[in-house]
Amino acid sequence: MVLEKLNQAEIVSLLGGIYEHSPWVAEILFTQGITSQDNDLYFLADRMKKIVDASSEKIKLSLLQAHPELAGKLAISGNLTKDSTAEQASAGLDQCSKEEFAEFSKLNFEYTKKFGHPFIIAVKDLTRAGILTSFKERINNGNQTEFETAITEVHKIAFLRLKAL
C-alpha cells in the first residue's frame, strides 16, 4: 500500500488503531503530511512515536488509560479490540487459571489505584509467568519511572501493530 496516495479518512482507518483507541495520532500524522518515506516501517513508527512523545502529559495519560487491563474485565467479556485480543491470547492470557486470574485482578486493581492507568507491557513472546513477574516488579516503581516505562511499552506495542499491518 502506498500511504501518500491515501486520503485522511483512509489513513485514520488504516493507522488509527496503532495506538490503542487513539486515532488522533494518525490524524496528526496526516496533517503533518504523508510522503513516500512513510512507507518504510521504521520511519513511520518513529514519526508516530514522535507525535505521541510531543503530546502533553495529560494526553499521554489518556493514551495510557485507553489501554485495557491484562486478563481483565474487557478480556473476559470479549470487549477488547481485535489487536488487544490477539496480543493477550499470544501470551496465553486468555487461558489463565483461577489463581492466575485472581492474581492479575488484584495486581490490576493495585496498579491502577497507584498510577491512574492500567499496567501496560508488550506481551509478544512473553509468558503469563513472565508478565506477572514484570507486573510485581513494576508496581514498586515511582510514578514518573512507571509513566515513562508504560509509554515505552505503548511504543513497542504500536511498532508490533505496524509491523503486523
Residue 158: CB atoms within 10 A of its CB come to 22
Does the annotation mark 67 as catalytic? Answer: yes
163: three-class secondary structure by DSSP: helix
Residue 16: CB atoms within 10 A of its CB come to 17
Instruction: Residue 164: name the closest of 17, 13, 8, 21 by CA.
Output: 17
φ and ψ at residue 118, rounded to 5 degrees: -70, 160
Residue with cell 508478565: 131
Sequence-separated (6 or more) residues with CB below 8 Å from residue 109: none
Q: Give the Cα separation of 78 and 68 in Å (integer).
A: 12
**Which entry of 21, 67, 117, 155 is annotated as an active-site residue?**
67
Whether the CB-CB separation of 161 and 83 falls below 8 Å is answered with yes
Q: Which residues are catalytic?
A: 67
